[in-house]
Amino acid sequence: MMLEHKGDVMDVSSASPALRSGLITGLAWTFIVLAGFATLISLLQNILITLMFPAEEMRAAMREVQKSQPMPAFAEFVLENIRLFLGLFFVVCAVTLVSSIGLLMRKNWARLIFVGLMVLGVLWNLMGAALPFLMFSSFSMLEGAPGDFQESFKVMATIMAVFAFLVAMVFSALFLWIAKRLLSDDVRREFHAL
């Protein structure tokens, strides 16, 4: 389409706004909603654990539990560092929320951060896939249980571990696909065109 302006010819097609893909808009809104809820919940968790469970009281309670029934090393590590884990989770949720808003606004920095978050999500899912195997293999409470109960527990643990593994693989594949799409040439052009 050509327009004439005081004797000059101007090409309007080159001045038209860049198209915004529905994929990026849908992805951004999905993660804005999810990360918004997660950030709020994580903030409340951090406030509650700080107010309701003072650090020294938690350590004293853990020492008492350890005397009667030794905890698996992984569970002990998580409980010892629960404030750190909840704080890091809040940071990841908040960064996801901010980068999702930036993704909606087609900011390139948000696209790059979002790719990093997707890679982090893949690593998190792979660790989560291994977690049931680590947790169930370290349970010593079954040693005195009847044989039928031990067998049922092992079957249940195996089913849960396989299900967790399959879910982790599906989410890992989804996150890798999102990262690959965000790094594609057409999406990169969309972000640089605006």
Task: Determine, yes or no, domain membership for 151.
Answer: yes
Q: How far, in Å, CA of 47 to CA of 55, rounded?
A: 13
Determine the Cα–Cα distance for residues 102 and 28; give it in Å rounded to an integer.
Answer: 8
The reply to whether 119 falls in a domain is: yes
Residue 1 lies in a domain: no
- Sequence-distant (6+) residues with CB within 8 A of 78 are 85
**121 and 79 in one domain?**
no
Global pTM reads 0.76
Residue 6 lies in a domain: no
Number of residues in the chain? 194
3 in Cβ contact with 12 (< 8 Å): yes
Segment 37-81, tens digit of pLDDT: 999 999 999 999 888 887 777 777 777 777 777 666 777 777 788
* 175 within domain boundaries: yes
State whether 49 and 94 are in the same domain. Answer: yes
Residues 118, 71, single domain; the answer is no
Last residue of a domain, one of 45, 77, 105: 105
Domain presence at residue 172: yes
In a shared domain, residues 65 and 38: yes
Only one residue has tokens 């080159």, namely 14
Contact 34, 26 (CB under 8 A): no
Residue 171's pLDDT is what? 95
Half-sphere exposure of 39 (CA within 13 A, CB side): 16
The rounded distance, in Å, linking the Cα atoms of 2 and 86 is 58
Determine contact, residues 120/92, Cβ cutoff 8 Å.
Answer: yes
The domain of 35 spans 21-105
Question: Span 169-175, mean pLDDT?
Answer: 95
99 and 149, same domain (yes or no): no
Produce one character per residue of 116-138: b if its CB has 16 or more CB atoms within 10 Å, e if not.
ebbeebbebbeeebeebeeebee
- Strand-pair partners of 2: 11
- Domain stop point among 56, 89, 105: 105
Counting the structural domains of the chain, the total is: 2
The last residue of one of the domains, among 84, 105, 126, is 105
Helix (H) or strand (E) run with residue 131 in it = helix 108-137
Please check whether residues 28 and 86 belong to one and the same domain: yes
Dump pLDDT digits (tens) for 92-133: 999 999 999 999 999 999 999 999 999 999 999 998 888 777
* Bridge partner residues of 22 (DSSP): none
